[in-house]
Structure 1
Amino acid sequence: MTSPDPAPDASAAHDLLDQDGVRLTVRDAIATVTLDNPAKRNAQSPALWRALAEAGRALPGSVRVVVLRGEGKSFSAGLDRQAFTPEGFDGEPSFLDLARGSDAELDAVIAEYQEAFTWWRRNDVVSIAAVQGHAIGAGFQLALACDLRVAAQDVQFAMRETSLGLVPDLTGTHPLVGAVGYARALEICATGRFVHADEAERIGLANIVVPADELDGAVQDLAAALLAAPRDAVVETKALLRGAGDRTYEEQRAAERAAQARRLRDLAGLAD
């Protein structure tokens, strides 16, 4: 008599995307997005940005926490310098070609690139960047795109765009100013210097700093803590906090009252 097949493991991880150096894996309420090109220190390209945007679209509605990590010794060393060569990337216009386009065309292309960096701020998920080694330029901006950052002791943040005659344009300037203030953000960007782990924690770039071999465990513990509270309470709280900087004090008071009314009605079974 043959034994029945074992029941599928409901908590097993499932790969939903694996393309262009990006892998999306989902286990229960936690999704993990992995930059998976360690040989190039997870250098970024337009193809990788499209894959990151696709990962955001592919997230199941059951996901509450998204972890972003980089395979290997570096989180991401930034933009692949091949972008600045006349040849560019295979099948892609080079950045030099893009510069020759109209203002509208160039604006549209950059807006498309930015999509890879925007969805991490959605109110229905909390995103955590697990950052080790280099997080430079586009890598720094990708870490800044997340709500929270857990950093290894060997982390090196740097915004090197100005040294190339460019500006940070992948949505990193807003969260950087929000985290460290205008003056320090300007100094970090204009000098392109490295911000190491201890300073990153002290000035608010990193929520937690741990030894490199404890990074995964620290992220898992943080994710578990985030999942302990009811989902809708976390969603409402994130929306309140994200909008606070754009509201007056009185507007924020009103937003708090409205959010609390929704929560009370939901808990009382009176929600629409």
Structure 2
Amino acid sequence: MDTTDTTTTFEVDPAAGLRVEHTTDRATITLARPDRLNCQSPVMWDELTRVRTQLPATVRVVVLRGEGRAFSAGLDRELVSPDHPQGLLRIPRLPREEATGLIEGWQRAFDWTSRPDLVSVAAVQGHAIGGGFQLALGADIRIVADDVQFCMAEPMLGIVPDLGGTKRLVDLIGYSRAAELCLTGRRVGAEEALRVGLASASVPVAELDAAVEQTVTALLAIGRDASAETKALLRAAASRTQDEQQAAEREAQYRRLRALAGLLGEDGPGGA
């Protein structure tokens, strides 16, 4: 990171339990409820969505992390109390469209991969349970500490993972492994996470910050437009045939070569 950059704090609702800081080209979003293992709430999800959509356009890399000894232990258990005014048990009393619309809004907080121009890195240590697991799954890259514990706990509570995690998990590790993890609630540690593809790297807890910084530096060393074109190709690859993917590669390469030759502006994915 360029140390001459000024770090700016992005203002968020204090009730969200988030801290957001950014420089010119990177942002760090910290779940900041360490006394509650960074448990999540709808206010946090609303603010995560707002931050994702309102970060300065110069930001290229976002790091998602948790303060203290956990990434996130998932949903705040107070929200399943029947007396909580913002609790989840109010949802079944709502009309179907209103209820599913609420959930749709919350799902947006977990989508950190759809923008080709933004690369997201989850720095995961300790518990990443339920919504914590799904938030990590919503990043492009996961770097984990050796004490990590992933768990999709929702079915054990009588509900389902509804924050985008089911497809992302299947895409990463395949249906059979995903079914076993979700339908048993078994916890996954760092060694297995690395082996099955949940994590791109596993390091000792004390080395997590350095490993994330090294990755961010490497990401920022790649030109923005080449990075965006490559990410767009990778994201779409699973839904295309080999011939379709190669056709997309040809078009992307043509755009990049024309840009490098000065024959067009720095068009992003889908440009002329």
Query: Per-residue deviation at 1:58?
Result: 2.2
Whole-Å Cα distance in 2 between the matches of residues 241 and 86 of structure 1? 43
TM-score with structure 2 length normalisation? 0.93
Partner AA of 1:101 in structure 2 = L
Structure 2 gap ranges (5+) = 266-272
- Secondary structure (helix, strand or coil) at the match of 2:169 reads helix
Q: Report the secondary structure of 2:213's partner residue.
A: helix
The match for 2:213 among 209, 213, 220 is 220
> Does the CA-based 8 Å contact 1:53-1:119 persist in structure 2?
no
How far apart, in 1, do the equivalents of 2:88 and 2:220 lie? 42
**Residue number among 5, 14, 18 corresponding to 1:11 in the alignment:** 5
Is contact 2:24-2:58 (8 Å) kept? yes
5+ residue gaps, structure 1, are 1-8
Give 1:231's aligned residue: 224
Rounded Cα–Cα distance in structure 2 between residues aligned with 1:189 and 1:237: 31
Aligned position for 1:6: none
Q: In percent, how many aligned pairs have the same letter? A: 52
Matched residues in 2 for 1:18 and 1:70: separation? Answer: 16
Aligned to 2:270: none
Q: Does 1:100 align with 2:93?
A: yes
State the AA in 2 paired with 1:224. Answer: T
Worse overlay, 11-20 or 250-259: 11-20
Which runs of structure 2 are paired with 1:80-95 in the superposition (5 Å)? 80-89=76-85, 92=86, 94-95=87-88
Structure 2 partner of 1:61: 57
Would you say the 8 A contact 2:39–2:75 is kept in 1? yes
Aligned to 1:3: none
> What is the Cα deviation at residue 248 of structure 1?
1.5
Structure-2 residue corresponding to 1:29: 25
- Structure 1 residue 10: Cα displacement: 4.4
Aligned twin of 2:256: 263
CA RMSD of aligned residues (A): 1.2
How far residue 120 of structure 1 moved from its aligned partner, in angstroms, is 4.0
Residues of 2 paired with 1:50 and 1:137: CA distance? Answer: 18
TM-score, normalising length: structure 1: 0.93
1:4 aligned partner: none
Distance in 2 separating the partners of 1:120 and 1:228: 19
Aligned residue pairs: how many? 261
1:3-45 deviation per Cα after TM superposition (whole angstroms, max 9, x unaligned): xxxxxx8412111134311111112311101101101100000
Query: Does the alignment pair 1:197 with 2:190?
Result: yes
Larger-gyration structure (1/2): 1
